[in-house]
Structure 1
């Protein structure tokens, strides 16, 4: 049995709100059929543009009309679904028009129809128009150490979580993958909720604790000035250092939240979570962390005891839970009777496990002392639903899922601005031919980002790239061949844009699979485009509530 979602999840126009269960299943069929037809596009690596002759893989009629498009035309005619005044430089084939129209029609709308918030043409939410680094809608104490993107996210998601708590009469929240605790602090100190945060990386937990102390110091000073005494929290957030095992039972998860020793992360956090203010705070953490390691304690206490902190029922949240973590939280939501609601914001789809790729690159594996049995077919990150798992062509390649994490809006802006950054695609593809000419066994080898590559000549770029893969940086280059490749930069950008057009469709299928999974377990859910996609590309929040006492099938442990 499901319950009606609160107004917080209903006032936003949502693509899924008008779809019945039958229509959701039908949409999944159409998505898998469409994506399987164009899997050669979604699974192509742009660095292989020359080595695999990707341009020739396009229909010849497409090549003729696409090869001479300007970058702004690519943005308007291919990527922009809202561009009404399309002026084609030539007659496009019906197959290309159908491809673009289908991709745009099948993808969930990435912007709310109400109150988008951004000023027309600015690409920025209104809260950052006066100061691009400081949200005008967030108190200064929650902006310290927090970049604009995260300020926007914690403000919007925090308000939604608070409304879910009010709707379910829960005052407790569990924030999984909490990182440096920015959302945790806003939920606790800003909204008065009782919050337990769990994060796998101890360094980030130490940062979160340090930032908590800083905020408390500011609040104490404000209290002494008798200006904001009412804002002092009843309870401070509690941080638990631990890796959430996707194969563990919900009972183990609850025990972990209670402060029991949890396995530590075998590697660092998601790179996206590392970006930001860590550079400002890496100092002066060593002593405190050493004390915790020596004691073997994975629970960082901040003024309250575990049994006082976690209420029987709570709302689960995860802001950009990486890879399988978002799927794990949904399974705990279904199976654990104590979880009344969930807000799930996913990221890093390429790290999701599938039956074809149970160990994708970048996946955080279980620590050696944790039982790591193989996942059952129903326990992979995709597909989660039985329905999608039975559909022919539902498989999504690693590259298709990786592309689904790209920022379509940001790329459109680069095209319209004729940005020099666009040349890096062609540079890397040309470098791939040089690498394979010397070492045919080095295919798609990681070169990593070359800083300000767009400002370098190709020779300068190639020297840096070759050195990174262990090849002599002074290898002689065939200048004629290099020049011929660089002249095809426009084609490279067109091909990348065609593949990028499929990215929102892939994301739609992944998220729809999760909606159907919840529906199969008797829970209503909604998908909310909560964040401004110009600022936060992974802007969808999956919101679900269940009635008190709802019991899903117990997971095998």
Structure 2
């Protein structure tokens, strides 16, 4: 099997790619000033005196603003009643909206390399395709509850939207064989197999999950056979293996895919093609990067659709072969391109999340206790209405050694009570971190966008999920025969 060229051709001069490079430079300029906020652990708020490190002009106003008002300003740019925010904070808010990718899936806008002639951005085209599928497969849709069986509501939403999108890209690229990486127990693949009639190969490293997927397939097919004389779609094939950079940069895994397709899905040799698409719904950390690297190196990998997650699990550093960030030559060549674990972690949360004010006070107690413990383990506590801080501390420290458990005097004193009364500052400081977090996700996604562009493949970025339901909602897509 001939391999795709490894040579990086950093020559795309389209306005989109040039604009992305400028945006990346601008983001790093912002992070030089405000990156310390992202790099701060919110758990360090009290003993790290994080509030006092903010500009005085900010804290004077933010002291008097409710968290609800501030949150509304961050998300919706609402004016805050009876207060005028300092110009530096107003300017930062406006700048962040200009530099970060729009997370609203309803706008249906996509960031697409101008050389991308294959992926159609028009929403109507995708809906027309869905109508075509329904008209030709309406019987199977009557068993909608069967697809949703044992699937949580959030996952149902993600699978419904992602399967529709992947099927459409498969249709546009004229490639019906799809490899689902990190397939788990196969809910996504069953949808693509039996609703959209795709040839599915499921890759999962955990044998227990792969075995469970096959049992779910058995139950699914048994119900179909009882309902229909003829079943639309083909059973997914499950292959238990681990995707690693060093092992599968060659043709070994690609050849295995070809063998599976020929033995399990081939009915007419005249129609056979060894091309396949790669998809991944929230592959964790480096796995999303491994899929992109595998994609560019295999000529028979026709398209890719990946929604990444767990940015804090990305391997960072200077080893180009193994790192997950930075990925593109453009970002690697920058003198200061580092992102901290804290910044990558906060970028995995939706802006709407709130911080746990009680846990921050507890951390401060332990630092002042002077036992050398910082960011240590405490028990998970389900906070109920009217639960006192005293009750919370006792439940949280119950699993700890006796010498680490807290006395009444350590829990109930002037310093602790003062910290508790300042909980609004904690929420607002975390709001600032959440406000900056989309900068980090934009960097990670644009880095991947340029990586594909540098290898002469025209990519697209698009929000396909409601961020309030699924916070990691961007899919990066490319079709191999769309060359720059």
User: What TM-score, normalized by structure 1, do the two folds share?
Assistant: 0.73
Given the alignment of the two structures, is residue 352 of structure 1 paired with residue 357 of structure 2, yes or no? Answer: no
Alignment match, 1:434: 365
Q: How many angstroms apart in 2 are the aligned matches of 1:492 and 1:172?
A: 50
Q: How many angstroms apart in 2 are the aligned matches of 1:86 and 1:197?
A: 49
> Higher mean Cα deviation, 215-224 or 54-63?
215-224
Q: Which one of the candidate residues 164, 180, 184 is aligned to 1:179?
A: 184
> Higher mean Cα deviation, 47-56 or 150-159?
150-159
SS class of match (1:546) = strand
Alignment match, 2:52: 56
Q: How many angstroms apart in 2 are the aligned matches of 1:197 and 1:243?
A: 12
Q: How many angstroms apart in 2 are the aligned matches of 1:105 and 1:396?
A: 21
> Higher mean Cα deviation, 243-252 or 203-212?
243-252
SS class of match (1:40) = helix
Aligned 8 A contact 1:198 1:257 in 2: no
Given the alignment of the two structures, is residue 515 of structure 1 paired with residue 446 of structure 2, yes or no? Answer: no
Alignment match, 1:244: 243
User: What TM-score, normalized by structure 2, do the two folds share?
Assistant: 0.83
Q: How many angstroms apart in 2 are the aligned matches of 1:73 and 1:482?
A: 26
Alignment match, 1:94: 87
Q: How many angstroms apart in 2 are the aligned matches of 1:150 and 1:399?
A: 26
Q: Which one of the candidate residues 85, 94, 110 is aligned to 2:103?
A: 110
Q: How many residues align?
A: 432
Structure-to-structure mapping, 1:473-512, within 5 angstroms: 473-476=405-408, 477=410, 478-512=412-446
Q: Which one of the candidate residues 459, 464, 468 is aligned to 1:525?
A: 459
142 and 386 in structure 1: CA distance in 2 versus 1, 3 angstrom threshold: same
Structure 1: runs of 5 or more not aligned: 1-17, 117-135, 260-300, 357-375, 412-421, 553-557
Structure 2: runs of 5 or more not aligned: 1-13, 110-140
In the TM superposition, what whole-angstrom CA distance separates every residue of 1:109-147 from its partner, at most 9, and x where no partner exists?
A: 00135479xxxxxxxxxxxxxxxxxxx999222111111
Q: How many angstroms apart in 2 are the aligned matches of 1:19 and 1:379?
A: 30
Aligned 8 A contact 1:464 1:473 in 2: no
Task: Tell me how far 1:401 sits from its aligned partner.
Answer: 0.3
Task: Tell me how far 1:148 sits from its aligned partner.
Answer: 1.8
Alignment match, 1:216: 221
Q: Which one of the candidate residues 17, 20, 26 is aligned to 2:22?
A: 26
Alignment match, 1:170: 175
Given the alignment of the two structures, is residue 153 of structure 1 paired with residue 158 of structure 2, yes or no? Answer: yes
Q: Which one of the candidate residues 334, 339, 351 is aligned to 2:301?
A: 339
427 and 42 in structure 1: CA distance in 2 versus 1, 3 angstrom threshold: same
Alignment match, 2:127: none
> Higher mean Cα deviation, 96-105 or 182-191?
96-105
Alignment match, 2:133: none
Task: Tell me how far 1:468 sits from its aligned partner.
Answer: 3.7
Q: How many angstroms apart in 1 are the aligned matches of 2:80 and 2:190?
A: 50
431 and 244 in structure 1: CA distance in 2 versus 1, 3 angstrom threshold: same
SS class of match (2:149) = coil
> Higher mean Cα deviation, 433-442 or 192-201?
433-442
Alignment match, 1:446: 377
Alignment match, 1:127: none
Q: Which one of the candidate residues 390, 393, 396 is aligned to 1:465?
A: 396
> Higher mean Cα deviation, 103-112 or 244-253?
244-253
SS class of match (1:441) = coil
